[in-house]
Amino acid sequence: MAKNILEIRGLVKRFGDFTAVNGIDFEIKEGEIFGILGPNGAGKTTTINMILGLLKPTSGTIVVNDIDITRGHGNEVKTMMGLMTQETVVDGDLTAYDNLEIAAQLYHVPKDKIPQKIKEALDEAELTQFSNRAAGTFSGGMQRRLALVKAMVQDPKLLILDEPTTGLDIQNRVSMWGHIKDLVKGGVTIILTTQYLEEADVLCDRIAIIDHGKIKAIGTASELKRMVGTGRMLEMIFEDSSHAQHGAEVIRSHFKVSATVKDDRVDAVIEKWDPRILTEVLSALDRKKIEVSSVNVHFPTLDDVFIKLTGSGMRDSASESYTSARSDMFVRGRR
């Protein structure tokens, strides 16, 4: 059994009378990728900054590798952790090589090991051929890759990635996921915060869903999805809201479930999925001349978990992950 590299108990942070982190508990095992998933303002960065020792908790304890850092700590804890934040932290005037060299010196990497470390880092970031170019001329994706390997030059035990892909386009985001996965093969423990449900789903061994400074649920992606049920999510979009109201009645009576209506859209959780019932529903809707514009059936996604737990979508990023994460079956334009 791997040991806990991090243990957080009853962590609270208040700014004046505003509570940003409202009593959270979790632990992370060595070698895990642990995701903190939540919308903008949920308290992710505040939590991270307390783990890094940059912010003093109002109450609670944080133990990193058996050291209670809330009682004050020295450099040994600092060099144990690497950080990459959502604001790219490379120096644009310096070459990729120099950025890495300065980081290596700052973190006291032994002098004779520095050239080899930099070579490996450039290789890992796929930047070897650009090593002598100013980082400021790099694309967003290249800069993030450089920032990522820069956070790793001192071989941290715990690598903290605070929204490492926010603002990147989807290609660059997926490429970053590959780099992050490669890092874990090297055995480093990672805490990753994200607003992207799909990112947490793809990368993380365990995920804490956080909203308004509280953990709403914690577990593997499949454990979290099972909280919604083992059935299917049914989403139907109708011609208009009046058709949707009538359509919801048909769905409720055939599937024997509750269904929610929002404008022209009906959502239902079908605990016992049977595609024949969907066929019956579609026939019944047809007979009643209720116009369906789209039908989507999918396994529960983290999005569904989030909605169930917090009563709302992921706000900033919901629509994007929603379309990319769906699966199973998609029937469009039945008219």
Ligand X SMILES: Nc1ncnc2c1ncn2[C@@H]1O[C@H](COP(=O)(O)OP(=O)(O)O)[C@@H](O)[C@H]1O
Q: Which residues bind ligand X (CB under 6 A)?
A: 15, 18, 20, 38, 40-46
CB of 29 to ligand X, least distance (A): 23
Q: Which does 43 bind (CB under 5 to 8 A by kind): ligand X, Mg ion, none?
A: ligand X
> Per-residue x/- mask for Mg ion, residues 37 to 56, rule CB under 5 A?
-------xx-----------
Q: Closest approach of Cβ 248 to ligand X, in Å?
A: 35
DSSP character string of 25-73: EEEEETT-EEEEE--TTSSHHHHHHHHTTSS--SEEEEEETTEEGGG--
Residue 39 vs 82, nearer CB to Mg ion: 39
* Chosen from Mg ion, ligand X, none, partner binding at 145 (C-beta under 5 to 8 Å by type): none
Query: 38 contacts which partner out of Mg ion, ligand X, none, CB within 5 to 8 A by kind?
Result: ligand X
305 torsion bin: left (phi>0), alpha (psi -120 to 50), beta (else): alpha
Cα 297 from Cα 278, distance rounded (Å): 10
Supply the minimum distance, in Å, between the C-beta of residue 85 and Mg ion.
8
Cβ atoms of 182 and 126 closer than 8 Å? no
Site of tokens 């209720």: 290
For ligand X, the closer CB: 20 or 250? 20
| Closer to ligand X by Cβ: residue 131 or 194 | 194
- Nearer of residues 215 and 281 to ligand X, judged by Cβ: 215
CA angle 22/319/225 to nearest 5° reads 60
139 vs 312 by CB, closer to ligand X: 312
330 binds, among Mg ion, ligand X, none (CB under 5 to 8 A by kind): none
* Cα–Cα distance measured from residue 68 to residue 46, given in angstroms and rounded to the nearest whole number: 18
Residue 207, phi then psi, degrees to nearest 5:
-135, 135
Indicate which of ligand X, Mg ion, none lies near residue 188 (CB less than 5 to 8 Å, by partner kind): none
What radius of gyration, in Å, describes the C-alpha atoms of the chain? 24
Residue 38 one-letter amino acid:
G
Residue 42 Cβ vs ligand X, minimum distance, rounded to whole Å: 4
Q: Which is nearer to ligand X, 20 or 147 (CB)?
A: 20
